[in-house]
Amino acid sequence: MYAIEFETEITNKYIELQDYEKLINKHAKVIVLVKDPIIDTSQADKIEYFKTLINTRKNLPPVENKVDIIKLCNEADSDIF
């Protein structure tokens, strides 16, 4: 087994292989290495925290989403005034 290494700009879905004639009817393992921007670990931490919250929430009963807005406003008014 031998390796062919080259760098190129990917501009569409095709990558041209130089001297491809030697490779016809051969099996090849292709690995594409792309330099990614640095990942913000604080963002990854937030995602993990969010996943933890979701998993915790799975074990709780469903939330009642029927809210009586008029009653809620009246309660808020009586607390303020």
Residue 24 resides in a domain: yes
pLDDT in tens, 12-35: 899 988 888 989 999 999 998 888
Unique residue bearing structure tokens 């937030």: 46
Question: What does pTM read for this prediction?
Answer: 0.40
Number of domains in the chain: 1
Range of the domain at 59: 20-80
Residue 4 resides in a domain: no
Quote the CA–CA distance of 22 and 26 in Å, as a whole number.
8
Residue 5 resides in a domain: no
pLDDT given at position 25: 93
